[in-house]
Amino acid sequence: MTHPEERLAELGLAVPEVAKPVAVYVPAVRSGQHVFTSGQLPMRGGELIVTGKVGDAVGADEAYECARQCALNAIAAVKAEVGDLAAVKRVVKVVVFVASTPDFTGQPQVANGASELLGTVFGDAGVHARSAVGVPVLPLDSPVEVEIVVEV
C-alpha cells in the first residue's frame, strides 16, 4: 500500500508546516482514536492565498484551490498530532465553510477541492461524510475554511 505522503508527492505536494493559529487554540486535538482539527485556512507560506467572497472577488475555481490548500493544512495538523499519516485509518467527517455572496450556490463544488485531495491521499480511507456551508464571512476575510475529523 502506498504511503499517504507518497501520494502527496505524486501530486507534486508535500506536507507543509502547521499553520500558526490566528487566535487562542491549537491546530488539532486527539481524543481517543480520533483527531479533530481546528478550522484550517488556505494559508501557504504564512499568507492567505486569496481573500474575499466566493461569487464576487473569488471565483469558484480559486475557491476550489483554497479548499484543497485547507485540506493540505489539515493533513499537516493531523500529522503533527499523530506523527505518521499511515496511522490514519479513516477520514470520518469534513466540514467546509465557504464565505460567499448570497446568490452563490456552488459550495458543494468548492468543497470538492478538499474531498478530492483527501480521497487521493488516503484512498478508500479518505471517503468521508461532509457538510458544505455558505457563510457571510470567515477569519481574515478567507474565502474558505476546512475542518476534518480522522480516526487513527
Q: What is the SS3 assignment for the chain?
A: CCCHHHHHHHCCCCCCCCCCCCCCCCCEEEECCEEEECCECCEECCEECCCCCECCCECHHHHHHHHHHHHHHHHHHHHHHHCCHHHCCEEEEEEEEEEECCCCCCHHHHHHHHHHHHHHHHHHHHCCEEEEEEECCCHHHCCEEEEEEEEC
What is the structure's pLDDT at 1? 61
Confirm whether pTM is higher than 0.95: yes
What is the structure's pLDDT at 19? 85
Residue 24 reports pLDDT greater than 80: yes
Mean predicted confidence (pLDDT) in 13-41 = 95
- The CATH homologous superfamily for domain 4-8+32-151 is RutC-like (3.30.1330.40)
Model confidence over 98-113: pLDDT tens digits? 999 999 999 999 999 9
